[in-house]
Structure 1
Amino acid sequence: MKLFIKMIIALAISNLYSQNSIEGVVTEVETNSKLAYVNVYIPHLEKGTSTNDNGGFVINNIPTGTYSIIFSSIGYKTKSIQITIPVNTPIKIQLIPTAIEMESIIVSTPFHKIQRDNVMKVEHKNISDLKTNGAITLADGITNIAGVESVTTGLGIGKPVIRGLSSNRVLVYTQGVRLENQQFGSEHGLGVNDAGIESIEVIKGPASLLYGSDALGGVLYLNPEKFANNNTASGDFGGSYFSNTRGFNTNAGYKSSENNFKFLFRGSLTEHSDYNTKTYRVTNTRFREQDFKAGLGYQKNNFKTELRYNLNNSKLGIPEEIGEQSLNRTPLLPFQSITNHVFSSKSTLFLNHSKLDINLGYIYNDRKEFEDHHHDEHEDDHDEDKHEGEIEELEAALHMKLKTHNYDVKYYLPKLGKFETIVGAQGMNQTNTNYGEEQLIPDATTNDFGVLATSHIHFEKLDIQLGARFDNRNINITSGINKKFNSFNGAFGIKKNIFKNITARLNLATGFRAPNLSELASDGTHEGTNRYEIGNANLKSEQNFQTDLALEFKNEHLEIFVNGFYNSINNYIFLSPNGNIIDDTPVFVYLQNDAKLYGGEFGLHFHPHPLDWLHFESSFETVTGKQNNDTYLPLIPANSISNTVRVEFEERWISKGYAFIKLRSTFDQNNVSGFETNTNGFNLLSAGLGGNVLVFNNELNITISGNNLTNKTYINHLSRLRPDGIFNMGRNITIGLNYYL
C-alpha cells in the first residue's frame, strides 16, 4: 500500500499540469434573461463562486481533468454538468424555473453529487432547516428525518437510530473521518455540537462497502461548514434561548479565503438546566457544552488539502429519579465529563483525468464518569452551590481514554467508456486505556484493515453501481483474549427512470459488524444504565443482507416518495437479563440470535399551483424488529406520521420569510421485547416563523418556534427514562438570533 501511494505521488510531481480557468453565463430557459447570484460549485475541488448581475462567472486555478459543475439557485431546478478541462469557449447554462426546493450536494457517496444522479438513496438536511423546527440539540434535530430517531437520556444525551438500529450499528462521520467516542454505551451521546456543521446526510441500510465495520445499519454523515469562496471573507454571531430549560446556546465564527489559502474558526457555548414537564422538572438532565472548530485549507497546482480540528467538552448530568427542583446548571452526581478531540486531514492529488484522495484522522476521547457512591465518600465536599471546578476535583469512578488513528485512501481511475471506478484501502488503530478505580471494559488494542473496489456504470436508460470489499479486524485484550474477524461484503444497485417523472432505485447490500470491546469483555457495573454487564468472548460477527426499494415521483409542484426495506441479520447481538444480582444491580449478559427488521417510509411534498408559496409536507415511517423466535427486538421506534403546512414569503422589509405549523403523531408501541413495557401514543404540536431583516446593512436572521405547544405529558419509547415513568420535555419556546457580517 505504501509503495502504491509513493508511485502515485511521484507521478503527480512529475506531471504538474497547467492551471486553467472556466467562464460562462447563466440564463433562464423560458425568458433567456440573465440570472444573478446563482451558485456555481465544483464539489471535487470545493471551489465555487456566484454569478454577477449579468449572469456571468469565472473560476480560476482549475487542474486539468474532468469535473462535475453544479448550478443552483432558489426557484430553479439544480443543474449538474460534466466538463473536461481545459475548455476554450465560455459555458452557456440555462436553468428551468421550479417551485421545488433546489437539490443539495451529496458528499457521503463517492460518485455523483446530486441526489437524482445517485443509485443509492441518501437523505439530506441542512442544520439551519432543523433549527427552524426548534431542534434543541443535534440528536434532537435528526429525528426530523424520516426513518431516523434518537435514543435519549434526558435532553443532553442522544444517539442516532436508523430504521431500528443504533449504537455501534450506525457509523457517524464528522470532518470526513469516523467518530470514535466509546459509542457502545446506550447513555453515550454523539459528542458533536451542531455549530460549524452545515448539513447532515443519512445512508439508510448497510454501507459497509464504503465504510467498513459498524456501518451495518447505516451512516450519519456530518458535513462541516464550507470555507469562504475565493477572495471573500465573512463572519457571524448569534444565539438561541430555550424557555423550557431556561437554557441558551451562543456561537460566533469567521472565515476568509485569499489566493491559495483559506481558514475558518467557530466557537460555541451551550448551557441548560433540568428540563420541565407539565408537573415537575426532571432532576439532573442539566448539561454544559463547549465547542471549538477550526479549519485551514490550501490549494496549489494539482494539489489541495485541508486540516480541521474540533474540541468538544461537555458535562452531562445522568438522571435517575425525580429529586430536587431547581434551575441550577451544574450537574449533580452522577454525571459524565467528556473531552473529545478530532483532528482530520483531507488531501487530493489531481492527475490527468484521475485523482487520489487521502483522508487521515486522529480522535482522542477522554471520558470520565462520576458516581453517587463517590459522593458518599466526599460528603463534606458536596454542596449544591459548589462551583464546577470544585466538583471536578472528585475522583472519577470510570475513566477511559480512547485514542483512534484512521486512514481512508481512494484512487479514482480515469473514466473508461461507461465505467467510473474507485479502488481504495481503509484502516484504523485504536487503543483503550483505563485510569479509574472501577473498570467496565478492559485495556485493549483494535486494528482494522479493508480494501474495496466499486464502479458506477452509465447506460442510456439506467445506471448500475456495484462493488466488493474485504475487511479484517484484530482485537487484542490485556486479559489475554485475542480475537480476529474477517468479512467479505458486496453491494449492487440499479437506478432507472421508469417514466418521465418516476425514478426507481433497487439496492441489494451485505454488511457486517464485528463485536465491540464491551460486548466481548465487559465485566462491571455500567452506572449510566444501572446494569452489571458481562461480555461474551465467543460472540461472532453480525452479518446482514438488506433489500431496499425506493420509488420517487417528482414534477414542478409535487414530490412523492415510497421506500421499503427488508433487513436480515445473522448473529444479532443483544443484552438480556439472566436473573442474577451483583452489587445490588441486575446482571445482563450478551447473547446472539438471528433477527430481521422490515418497514419503510412514505412522504409527499405538495406546492399547489399557482400558490407556490404554500407547502404541504407529510411523512410516515414504520419499522418492525424481531428475533427469529418471533420475540421483538428492544428499542424499536414506534410508527409515526408528521404533517406540516409551511408558507414562504418575501417582502420589502423581510427576506426568506416563513411560517409553519406541524403535527407529529406517534402511535402506540406494543411490539416490545420481553423486558420492555408498552408505550402509549401521543400527538405533538409545533409552530414557528422567521426570516431575515436588514440591520446596519447586514442581515439579521430571526427564528421563533414552539414545540409541544399543548404541553402534552408523554413518554417516548426510545427514552431511557421510560422504565422509571419519567416524562419527556414539556412545552418549549425557542428564540434565535444570528447576525451576518
Structure 2
Amino acid sequence: MKQITTLFLLCFASSIFAQHSIEGTLLENNTNTPIAFANIYLPQIEKGATTDESGYFFLNNLPTGSYKIVCSFIGYESYSKTISIPLTESLEIFLNSSAIEMEEIIISTPFHKLQSENVMKVEQEKITDLKAKGAITLSDGITNIAGVESISTGMSIGKPVIRGLSSNRVLVYTQGVRLENQQYGSEHGLGLSDSGIESIEVIKGPASLLYGSDALGGVLYINPEKFAQQNTQTGDLNATYFSNTLGYNTNLGYKSSGENLKFLFRGSLSEHSDYDTADYRVTNTRFKEQDFKAGIGYQDSKIKTEFRYNVNNSKLGIPEEIGEQTKSKSPELPYQEITNHVFSSKSNVFFDNSSLEINLGYIYNNRKEFEEHHDGHEEHSEEEEEEEEHDDEALEAALQMKLKTFNYDIKYQLPVYGKFETIVGTQGMNQINTNYGEEQLIPDATTNDFGLFAMSHIHFDKADVQLGLRFDNRVIDVVDSFNKNFNSFNGALGVKTKIANTITARVNFATGFRAPNLAELTSYGTHEGTNRFEIGNENLTSEQNFQTDLSLEFKNEHIEFFANGFYNIVNNYIFLLPEGTFIDNEPVYNYVQDNAKLYGGEIGFHLHPHPIDWLHFESSFESVTGKQDNGEYLPLIPANSLTNTIRIENDGEKIQKQYAFIALRSTFNQNNVSQFETTTSGYNLLSAGFGGVVSLFKKDLSITVSGSNLTNKKYINHLSRLKPEGIYNMGRNISVGITYTL
C-alpha cells in the first residue's frame, strides 16, 4: 500500500495539469440536419452534455489526454471515437439513422466501451425497462435478462443465478464496490432496492481477473443513477401499484449540479401483502422496505471524486406453509429484519495521458432473524394483531449477525502505447463477521483478501484482443478455531473480430476461483428458512474453473441475431449432500466436493423491418445443463425457456415514447435434476403492457401499465424454495406506474 501511495504522489507531482474544452456539432449523415437533444458523453471522465436545437454541444474543464467520446440518440447508431485533448478545431460528428436500439457504455469492464466494441459479451438492461415489464423487486426484474434467473423465497427474497451458478459464485457490485450481505445463505436476498438504480450489467462466466474470489460464476454490476449534467437540476416522483400483492413502491428524488459541485438524494418506501395465486394467498410472503440514497461529487480538470451512501431496511416474512388468509402488510413470525449500510467513494485523478482510479467501500450488514415464541391463534382481532406486532418488535433476535466489510479497488490506466490500452491495479477486502444472537450458524471470523492484476486491450486492424493475469490471496481466520490460506493465479484471453461487415465473433477463455465461504467451512446448525441442519467441512479446498465462451452476432437494417455458447469446467465444486440422519427433527446435510461441468447458452432473434421501424419481433432461448463427474445432475439448475415478444414503439405529438408489448415466456419441463430434487413441470406465462409520456403542467408525466401471468396460471418455478411444500408462484398481477418530473 505504501508503494501505491508513493507512486500516486510521484505521478501527481510530476504531471502538469491543463484545463481544456471541446465543442462541436451533431448532424444527421444523409441530410446534414442538426440532431437536437442528443447525448454527448466522455465515459472515462464521466462528463456529458446535451446538444441544443442547432445540434451544438460544449464541454469544459477537461484534462489533457486521449479519451473516448460517445454520441447517442434514439433512432441512430451510437457513435464512438477516441479524441486527443486539447483539440485544435471544432468537432463535426455525423450519426447514421438505424432501427437498432442505441448502445450504452459498459461500466463493469475496465475500458468503458460500447458493447459493440467490447471483447467480452456483457448484457445490460435499464431498470426502467425491467419495471415496465411489471417487476415487483430488483430480484424479480433481473430474471428478464437472458441467462439470469433467481432462487426465490416468495417475492421479497431472491438470489441471482447466472448460467446455473449462484450464491457466493456470483459477485454483486453496487455503487462501484462489492456488496457483502451474507450471500452464502439460500434465504438471503440481495438487500437492494431498485430505486435510484439506472441500469444492470451482467458478466456471464468467470470474472476473477477483474474482481477476484467469488466471481467464479459471473458478476451482477448495478449502476447507480448519474448526477445531473453540469449547471442543471431535476427532480421526480415515482409510484407503482401492484394488484396481486395490494402493494406499492414509491420514491422521490432530486439532483443538482453546478460548475464543479453536484449532489443527489432519493428516498423510497415499499409495502406488500402476501402474494396471491389462483387458489390462495401464500402466508407470510408480505414485506416492507425503506431505502435512502444520497451522493455528493466534485469535478474539475484535475480530479473527479464522489461519495455515495445507501441505507436499506427490510422486514421480510419467511413463508413456511399456507395458513391464515390475510391482507396484512406486517410480517408475522418467522421473519428477517435486515439493515444494509453502503458507503462508497470513487475518485479519478487525471494526469497527462493517464489516470488513477481509487474506489473505497464500507458495507455494514446487520441481519436479524426472529422465530416463533408463542402459540398462535387462527383468528385475531385488530387490537390483538397490533399488540403482537408491538411484542415482536421487542423480541430478541434468535439469530443476529453483523458483517462489516471494507474493500478497496485501485487501478492505474497507463498512457496509450501504440495499439495497447493497459490497466494495472490492486484490490482487497477486510471482513469481520460477529454473532450477537442466541443461535449461531457460522462463527465469528475475519476474512482478508489481496489481489494484483494487469490487463491490456490491443487494437489490431481486423481484431481486438484482451488479455490479463491476476494473483489473489484469501485468509480466513476463525476465532478460537483455525486459520485458512487460499491462493490462486487466474488469467483471461479474448478476441473480437468481424467475420463480415454484418457478423461479429467473440471468443473468450477465462479461469476463475472461489475460496470456500464460512458457511461451507464451519456451519453447524439450522435456522428458519433452511429446513435442514447444515454441517460444514474445514478441509474444503478452493473451487477452480475454466470456461470457454463463443458469441456470434449478425446485424443489418432489418434483422439482429445472436448465439452465445459456453462450456464451464469447475474443479472441486462444493455442494450440500444429505447424510440420511436427523438432528432436532431436521435432515442433516454435509458440505462435500466433486468436479462438475456446466454447458449451454442463449440464442436470440430480433426483427425490425424497415421502413416500419416501430414494429419489433423478438425471440430468445436459453439453456443450461450442470453435471457432476459421476454423471449426476447438479441441483438448482434453471429449466430451459423460450420468450417471444411483439413490441411497438413510436413517438407522437401528444404522447411521446409510446410503446406496447405482448410476450409469452415458455418454461420447459426440468427433468435433469439432482438425486435429491424432484422434477418440475413446464408452463407458459403471458404478459403485456403499454405506456408513454405526456405533458402535464409543462412537465413530463410517464405512465406505464403492465400485466404478468395474465391467464392466472398455477405453476411452480424449479428455483422456488417453496417448491417442496407444493406452493405456487405468483398469479395474475396488474401494475400501474407513474413518474412525474418536478
Query: Which category describes the TM-score, using the shorter chain as reference length?
Result: over 0.9
**Whole-Å separation in 2 of the counterparts to 1:271 and 1:390:** 20
1:183-226 per-position Cα deviation (integer Å, ceiling 9, x unaligned): 00001000000000000000000000000000000000000000
Name the structure 2 match of 1:734: 735
Query: Counterpart in 2 of 1:319?
Result: 319
Give the deviation of 1:479 after TM superposition: 3.3
Q: Following the alignment from structure 2 to structure 1, what is the Cα–Cα distance between the partners of residues 469 and 576?
A: 32
Residue 690, structure 1, aligned to residue 688, structure 2 = no
Find the aligned partners of 1:112 and 1:433 in 2 and give their Cα distance: 38
C-alpha separation in 2, matches of 1:91 and 1:164: 47
Report how far residue 611 of structure 1 moved: 1.1
Structure 2 letter corresponding to 1:444 = A
**27-36 or 360-369: bigger deviation:** 27-36
Counterpart-to-counterpart distance in 2, 1:201 and 1:92: 31
| Matching residue of 1:222 | 222
Partner of 2:104: 104
Matches within 5 A, 1:139-150: 139-150=139-150
Alignment pair present for 1:589 and 2:590: yes
Q: Is the 8 A contact 2:62 2:300 kept in 1?
A: no
Q: Please state if 1:121 is matched with 2:124.
A: no
Counterpart for residue 347 of structure 1: 347
What residue in structure 2 maps to residue 309 of structure 1?
A: 309
Partner of 1:626, secondary structure, is strand
Q: What whole-Å deviation, never above 9, does each CA across 1:463-483 have from its counterpart, x for those lacking one?
A: 111101000000000132111
Equivalent in the alignment of 2:172: 172
> Does the alignment pair 1:331 with 2:331?
yes
Structure 2 residue aligned with 1:654: 655
Q: Encode CA deviations 1:560-607: one digit per residue, 9 max, x unaligned.
A: 000000000000000111011111111111000000000000001110
| TM-fit CA distance, 1:392 | 1.6
Aligned-partner residue type, residue 281 of structure 1: R
SS in 1 for 2:529: helix
Give 1:12 deviation, angstroms: 1.5
Q: What is the CA-CA distance between 1:153 and the residue it aligns to? A: 0.1
Native 8 Å contact 2:318 2:528 kept in 1: no
> Following TM superposition, by how much is the alpha carbon of 1:386 offset from its aligned partner in structure 2, in angstroms?
3.6
Equivalent runs, 1:389-400 vs 2, <5 Å: 389-400=390-401
Aligned to 1:530: 531
Q: CA RMSD for the aligned pairs?
A: 1.5
Deviation at 1:155, TM superposition (A): 0.5
Is the contact between residue 16 and residue 302 of structure 1 (CA under 8 Å) also seen in structure 2? no
What is the distance in 2 between the residues matched to 1:212 and 1:658?
41
Tell me if the contact between 1:238 and 1:736 (Cα under 8 Å) persists in the aligned partners: yes
Query: Which amino acid letter does the alignment assign opposite residue 295 of structure 1?
Result: G
- 1:7 corresponds to: 7
Amino acid at match of 1:686: S
1:542 alignment partner AA: E
In the other structure, the counterpart of 1:470 is 471
Counterpart residue number, 1:545: 546
SS in 2 for 1:518: helix
Give the distance between the partners of 1:332 and 1:34, measured in 2 at CA. Answer: 60
Instruction: Give 3-state SS (helix, strand or coil) of 1:528's partner.
Output: coil
Alpha-carbon deviations, 1:640-685, whole Å to 9, x = none?
0000001112222100001100000000000001111110000000
> Which residue is 1:504 aligned to?
505
CA drift of 1:400 comes to 0.2
1:445 counterpart = 2:446:
yes
Alignment of 1:76-91 (within 5 A): 76-91=76-91
Deviation at 1:383, TM superposition (A): 4.3
**Match in the other structure for 1:562:** 563
The alpha-carbon deviation at position 8 of structure 1 amounts to 1.8
Q: Secondary structure at the match of 1:143?
A: helix
1:513 aligns to 2:514 (yes or no): yes
Q: How big is the shift at 1:312?
A: 0.3
Q: How many residues are aligned here?
A: 740
| Alignment partner, residue 283 of structure 2 | 283
1:320 deviates by: 0.3
Partner Cα separation in structure 1 for residue 338 and residue 554 of structure 2: 45
Structure 2 contact 43–112 (Cα < 8 Å) conserved = no
| 1:97 partner letter | S
Residue 633 of structure 2 aligns with which residue?
632
Aligned-pair distance for 1:448?
Answer: 0.3
The answer (yes or no) to whether the contact 2:139–2:190 under 8 Å persists in 1 is yes
Summarize the alignment of residues 400-479 of structure 1 with structure 2, pairs less than 5 Å apart. 400-479=401-480
1: distance between equivalents of 2:388 and 2:174? 33
Hey, what does 2:619 align to over in structure 1?
618
C-alpha separation in 1, matches of 2:61 and 2:212: 35
- Name the structure 2 match of 1:203: 203
Q: Distance in 1 between matches of 2:552 and 2:57?
A: 36
Aligned-pair CA distance for 1:16: 4.1
Match of 1:717, SS? coil
Shift of 1:371: 1.1
1:661-676 → structure 2 map (5 Å cutoff): 661-676=662-677
* CA-to-aligned-CA distance 1:391-428 (integer Å, 9 cap, x gap): 22111000000000000001101111111111100000
Deviation string, structure 1 residues 466-506 (Cα, Å, up to 9, x no partner): 10100000000013211110000000000010000100000
Write the distance in 2 (CA, Å) between the matches of 1:703 and 1:253.
19
Residue 681 of structure 1 aligns with an amino acid whose one-letter code is G
Instruction: Look up the match of 1:700.
Output: 701
Q: Which runs of 5+ in 2 are unaligned?
A: none
Q: CA deviation at 1:390?
A: 3.9
Deviation at 1:10, TM superposition (A): 3.8
- Say if 1:464 and 1:391 are closer, same or farther in 2 by CA, change over 3 A: same
SS in 2 for 1:526: coil
Aligned equivalents of 1:617 and 1:390: distance in 2?
52
Residues 361-396 of structure 1, C-alpha deviations (whole Å, 9 max, x = no match):
0000000001124778xx999943347554221110
Alpha-carbon contact 2:557-2:610 (below 8 Å) kept:
no
Distance (whole Å) between structure 2 residues aligned to residue 128 and residue 657 of structure 1: 14
Q: How many angstroms apart in 1 are the aligned matches of 2:58 and 2:390?
A: 54
1:526–1:533 CA contact under 8 A, matched in 2:
no
Q: What SS is found at the alignment partner of 1:384? A: helix
Q: State how far apart, in whole Å, the 1-side matches of 2:134 and 2:362 are.
A: 33
Give 1:573's aligned residue: 574
CA 386–701 in structure 1, closer or farther in 2 if over 3 Å, else same? farther
Asked if structure 2 preserves the Cα contact closer than 8 Å seen for 1:333 and 1:375, the reply is no
C-alpha deviation, 1:104, in angstroms? 1.0
Alignment-mate amino acid for residue 269 of structure 1 = L
Match of 1:247 in 2: 247
Deviates more, 1:568-577 or 1:527-536: 527-536
- Mapped to 2, the partners of 1:630 and 1:386 lie a distance apart of 55
